[in-house]
Amino acid sequence: MKKRRSLAAGLLAALTALAAAGAGAQTLPPAEAQRGMEMMQKQMSLMTPELVEKAKALSPEIRQFLAKVAARHSRHSETMTLTQVMQEILADYQTMASAIAMDSGEVAADAARRIADHRLPRGGMLPYLPLEKVNTQSLSVLPAMEQAVEGGARQLAAAAEKGDMVAAAQHLGTITAGCVACHNHFRGQPGTSARLRP
Ligand code: HEC
């Protein structure tokens, strides 16, 4: 377990460095920034007062980042939960991985672009995180995760479309590191039972 934790910390550091390298691409044109802020308002109107208070206390950088994510994604679900969105992402991830193995560049590129523009769940991501993780320090890892998964997916799409499956396979590794690091940080073991002895 200890080994796993130190590996996770190393992964996080590597992904954070990666995100910092791509930081120049983070600023949004004013119209898009405005749209993102409006979408955040809408998400907050769906949250309980307890969560709204936590969301309002986040640093301006994190709030801007969340607004950017809202503005950049074209599909906003009124009903779906984060688990349902994640399962859709997993289906696209599997399509993408098998298409790379099969040398089907177009299929891999389409699936990668669906991941980069994945659906957002009802109320955004915050309602589905443990409440104690909704603070500036915990959420400060999000840009690194986004860069690994969505940045990696866009690069994978470009490589696969050119038929460069070796590069595509390398980007698949970056994306997977993003899934793993985020789950380590925000999620416990899925599907545990209170009716088992520890
Ligand atoms: C920004 C953080 C983040 C990233 C990046 C992320 N996940 Fe998740 N994922 C979560 C959280 C949080 C949950 C738990 C949701 C819940 O229980 O409501 C989750 C749950 C899941 C689940 C549902 C079943 C389970 O294990 O709870 C699947 C499947 C999944 N993720 C797949 C993926 C895949 C594949 C990737 C990478 C392509 C990925 N995720 C990237 C945060 C993330």
Instruction: Give pLDDT tens digits along the chain (198 positions).
Output: 445 666 666 766 766 665 555 544 457 788 888 899 999 999 999 999 999 999 999 999 999 999 999 999 999 999 999 999 999 999 999 999 999 999 999 999 999 999 999 999 999 999 999 999 999 999 999 999 999 999 999 999 999 999 999 999 999 999 999 999 999 999 988 999 999 998
pLDDT reported for residue 182? 96
Ordered alpha helix ranges (H), 73-148: 82-101, 105-116, 136-139, 142-146
pLDDT reported for residue 7? 61
pLDDT reported for residue 8? 64
CA of 190 to the centre of ligand 1 (A): 10
- Going by alpha carbons, the residue nearest to atom 31 of ligand 1 is 86
CA of 30 to the centre of ligand 1 (A): 31
Tokens representing residue 98 in the block: 């098998």
What does the longest C-alpha to C-alpha distance in the chain come to?
Answer: 54
- Going by alpha carbons, the residue nearest to atom 23 of ligand 1 is 83
pLDDT reported for residue 1? 47
> 163: closest CA among 107, 123, 119?
107
CA of 140 to the centre of ligand 1 (A): 17
- Residue 128 alpha carbon, nearest atom of ligand 1: 18
CA of 31 to the centre of ligand 1 (A): 30
Report the C-alpha gap between 111 and 106 in whole angstroms: 9
Helix (H, G, I), strand (E, B) or coil at 57: coil
Q: Which residues line ligand 1 (CB under 6 A)?
A: 82-83, 86-87, 89-90, 93, 115, 128-129, 142, 145, 149, 175, 178-179, 182-183, 186-187, 190
- Residue 146 alpha carbon, nearest atom of ligand 1: 5
CA of 120 to the centre of ligand 1 (A): 12
pLDDT reported for residue 101? 97
pLDDT reported for residue 68? 94
3-state class percentages of the chain: helix first, strand second, coil last, to nearest 5 = 75, 0, 25
pLDDT reported for residue 3? 54
Q: Is the dihedral of CA 71, 15, 93, 89 positive or negative?
A: negative
pLDDT reported for residue 24? 42
CB 153 within 8 A of CB 115: yes
pLDDT reported for residue 198? 86
